[in-house]
Structure 1
């Protein structure tokens, strides 16, 4: 088994799914517009490498408290189809297909919530989806998360958890990401790739001799 680990935001799609989702909710009248500025300030800390992901998730999940999981899944499917799919990089789709033809184990892994990542994993035909899990009680969202957050070192931990018992799990593995927050994952794989890398990751990739790929949206 050879793992092919793909980050989602700014790697397979142009933009951040969580930020786009908040904008979508505001447009639908499901969240106050005042949340956007606060969320963008948090995202600036993400790019700096100083974001507290627990605080970010608690903040961005506020509009979903008390909503049913069924409602969320339906809204997320519409969002993925209408907003995220048109932001996919053709080169990313081609790389997924390359791995599929090799028979590799395709994993979409993201620090975004599972409600945003799972619809994309399904559309892309990925074998596995690893994302931040949402807490619910009797089918209603609590606004909290569950388990290990798939963020920074948490991505490596979640992969080890997902594939527990698989021998030589990381041998020959591939990884693709844009963010220095994913350095733990990229350092764990055999074949790391920096895709549209942020400055810190670009510097690291240059120093380590990792491939740097620039993926573009179709005109």
Structure 2
């Protein structure tokens, strides 16, 4: 059994769930729309150019959840999946996941988006194992803070190694699918990196290094 590892946003789905969640909070009236939307757009631009302060972003993104219980937010999660995620799911991504399952590979999603947002998305995709930025819960309530190793850039490599050690797995023969130059640290330690609908920076690097490039949108 080998590992088939997938980035989520703009890889397995045709959009960024973190950014969409921020827009969804604005639409639902759970935040001050003008102020929050401006922050959401700025952080997304920072991510795209590889300059995101992940701790500052998570403090911003998780603040609206503070003091709420996960159970109380399930209806909101369900609505988000229905209205924002299902419309951007990709048939070719479903086929790719199916191909790896049929090979007997172990599927894992690793994403910089927090696990509150991404756990139900992974479930929708039929992937049982997910590593995202973990969300702190105290006394049954979300604190609005992340916890543990943050799965962004080099943090993805560190968190994956922690997971490998716990699960008795290795990266031998593993593949990793991603669209983003922010995932270079992980792509560089994987035997089989695959660029999926890559951003311009990653596409250029992939061409230079001879990495496979595919599209799940065509």
TM-score band, normalised by the shorter chain?
Answer: over 0.9
8 Å contact 1:105–1:127 — kept in the other structure?
A: no
Deviation at 1:154, TM superposition (A): 1.0
| Deviation beyond 6 Å, 4+ runs, structure 1 | none
Matches within 5 A, 1:74-89: 74-89=75-90
| Aligned pairs for 1:163-182 within 5 A | 163-164=164-165, 169-182=170-183
1:138–1:166 distance in 2 versus 1, CA, 3 Å: closer
- For each residue in 1:154-191, what CA deviation from the matched residue of structure 2 results, as whole angstroms up to 9, or x when unmatched? 11111111121556611110111110010111112111
In the alignment, the residues of structure 2 paired with residue 157 and residue 76 of structure 1 have an alpha-carbon distance, to the nearest angstrom, of 28
Unaligned runs of 5+ in 1: none
Match of 1:206 in 2: 207
The equivalent of 2:44 in structure 1 is 43
Under a length normalisation based on structure 1, what TM-score does the superposition of the two structures give? 0.94
Q: Post-superposition shift, 1:112?
A: 0.3
Deviation string 1:82-117 (CA, Å, 9 cap, x unpaired) is 311220122111110110000100011110010111
Aligned match of 2:190: 189
Gaps of 5+ in 2: none
Q: Secondary structure at the match of 1:184?
A: helix
Aligned to 1:152: 153
CA shift in 2, pair 1:148/1:73, >3 Å? farther
Q: 1:113 to 1:73 in 2, by over 3 A?
A: farther
* 1:5-51 deviation per Cα after TM superposition (whole angstroms, max 9, x unaligned): 11111111111101111111111111111211111111111111111
Q: What TM-score do you get using the length of structure 2 for normalisation?
A: 0.94
C-alpha offsets along residues 127-176 of structure 1, whole Å, 9 cap, x if unaligned? 31111111121111111100000111111111111121556611110111
